[in-house]
Amino acid sequence: MADTTIDKARSLLTPPVRRSSPWATFAAAALAATAAVLMAGVMVLGPGVRFEEPPVAQPLLPNG
């Protein structure tokens, strides 16, 4: 009788097995891929690259 209560207590103390969601795996892979692409872009452009603003376009009418 003591063995069955010990076995029952052990079964209650073991944590349940969690099943991972395939969507969570997909989201983690997408996040890692996005981070890799962004880091590659930073490495290609480098720290000295600046994007200048384009000049303001001239109006179509001569008097504004």
Q: pLDDT tens-digit profile of 8-64? A: 888 888 888 888 889 999 999 999 999 999 888 777 777 777 778 877 776 676 665
Dihedral sign computed on CA atoms, order 56, 57, 62, 64: negative
Structure tokens at 29: 């892979």
The answer to whether residue 33 is domain-embedded is yes
The answer to whether residue 32 is domain-embedded is yes
Supply the pLDDT for residue 59. 67
The answer to whether residue 8 is domain-embedded is no
For residues 21-51, one letter each, b for 16 or more C-beta atoms within 10 angstroms of the residue's C-beta and e for the rest, the string is: eeeeeeeeeeeeeeeeeeeeeeeeeeeeeee
The whole domain housing 28 covers: 21-46
The answer to whether residue 42 is domain-embedded is yes
**Number of domains within the chain:** 1
The answer to whether residue 5 is domain-embedded is no
Supply the pLDDT for residue 31. 97
